[in-house]
Amino acid sequence: MRLRLTLLFVAGILLRIALLPAQGYKGDVTTFEDWMLALGSHGPRQLYADISGATFPRVDYAPGYFFLLWPLAALYVHVIAPWQPERGILILIFVKAIPILADLVLAAAVYRMALAAGSRTEALLACALALLAPTFWLVSAYWGQADSVAVAFLALAGADALAERSISPWLWLAAAVLVKPQPLAFAPVLLTWQLRRHGFERSLFWAALGVTSLAYVVALPFAPSARPDVTLGWLVERYLFGYDKYPWDTASAWNVYAIAGPMYASDARQVFGLSLHAWGFLLSIGMVVAVCVHLWRTLADTDATGRARSLLLAGTVALAAPYMLATRMHERYLLSALALASVVATFAPRLRLPIGGLIAVFAICCAFVMAGFFGGHHHPWTLTVVHLLAAVNVLLYAALAGAFFFGGLTPGRAPGRLRH
């Protein structure tokens, strides 16, 4: 088993090395290169400042990824750039290094989660999906995006939660949210898990203090002031700025809003007296709350394996809810849910079809975005494909959610014992 696991990691590493020269989504890669050069040249505090005459795009990401990129940016700017001023393969390596390393961390965490929910063989299969399925390397090694970093931290939170740790899952989850906000949907699920398993313990207070401290430490080098209230307030503003930058029904996400009509339409449109934005918020929050209520019931009498499987499926459904039901979603925002879904697929054969379908549609969606929608996002052929596959995506999610709520996940029955 150890040899097979090692070979899997070697194959995953070689695959990502082969993809390093790929430009991926050129616009994003160029922006990340600009940000890295700015971070290395101007320092972290100036990265978010409105510098007159600045040559790099305004930053609309939270500082978690840049906190990790900072040492690499300084190394590149002060050591590499002087003897290779033109952009080439080396700057691509520096930009993609952290997402690729995150993929390896993700695979290890996925293996741990799958081991808690099933057998070593199932854990090996889950690890293989994380390392070799296009779901992850397409975003990290090919695209060059930072989503894999947030997903890796999220997976570590899930693995530590299944190991019955009280504080570290929250710290890992906070690290994930400091990179990308999408993993925040897992927080109510994690809270439900801990309250149901251990009740209201003092560790929750220490976890909250740890999360606040971590947020302050990560934001401090970038914020305009060292005062905790100013620094944390500035951090919240970063999320609001990034969220308000895309006031559309769907920003390339193939969800309920992509089933009909054009993409990139205003989410201020009224439906039954509420804007699409408000409907999306209410629907996604409602789904997450429903997941937590059902998880609370499911955890009552199941054994350790059943509890682990319930948590993983609940996390998958909750993490996918904003992508499917909320507005302003990008195509990559389903990645967090697919990380946990990769584990669920190994122990629930009945769910392999919807999970496999979600993975396939995700890959096609990312390919369409990187290819410029093959003629533009308003092209009739593009809209035909988008409408069709968005409907398929929503139906697949409905099947997954239905299996959680109605597919035999009642107290005393583990998800892996579904009839199939």
Domain definitions of the chain by residue range: 1-245, 246-420
Residue 243, amino acid: Y
pLDDT, tens digit, 9 for 90 and up, residues 279-294: 999 999 999 999 999 9
Instruction: Please calculate the CA angle 120-311-259 and round it to the nearest 5 degrees.
Output: 105
Sites in the chain below the pLDDT cut of 50:
52, 409-420
Cβ atoms of residues 151 and 102 within 8 Å: yes
pLDDT of residue 140: 94
pLDDT, tens digit, 9 for 90 and up, residues 160-198: 999 999 999 999 999 999 999 999 999 999 999 999 988
CA distance 398 to 393: 9
Which is nearest to 42 in space by CA: 94, 85, 77?
A: 77
CA distance 19 to 23: 9
Encoding tokens for residue 99?
A: 């997402």
Residues paired with residue 252 on neighbouring β-strands, in sequence order = 330
CA distance 187 to 184: 5
pLDDT of residue 363: 94
The answer to whether the pTM exceeds 0.85 is: yes
Residue 330: strand, helix, or coil:
strand
CA distance 292 to 30: 40
pLDDT of residue 414: 41
CA distance 332 to 148: 10
Encoding tokens for residue 73?
A: 């940016």
CA 228 remoteness from chain centre: 27
CA distance 264 to 248: 5
Residue 271: strand, helix, or coil:
strand
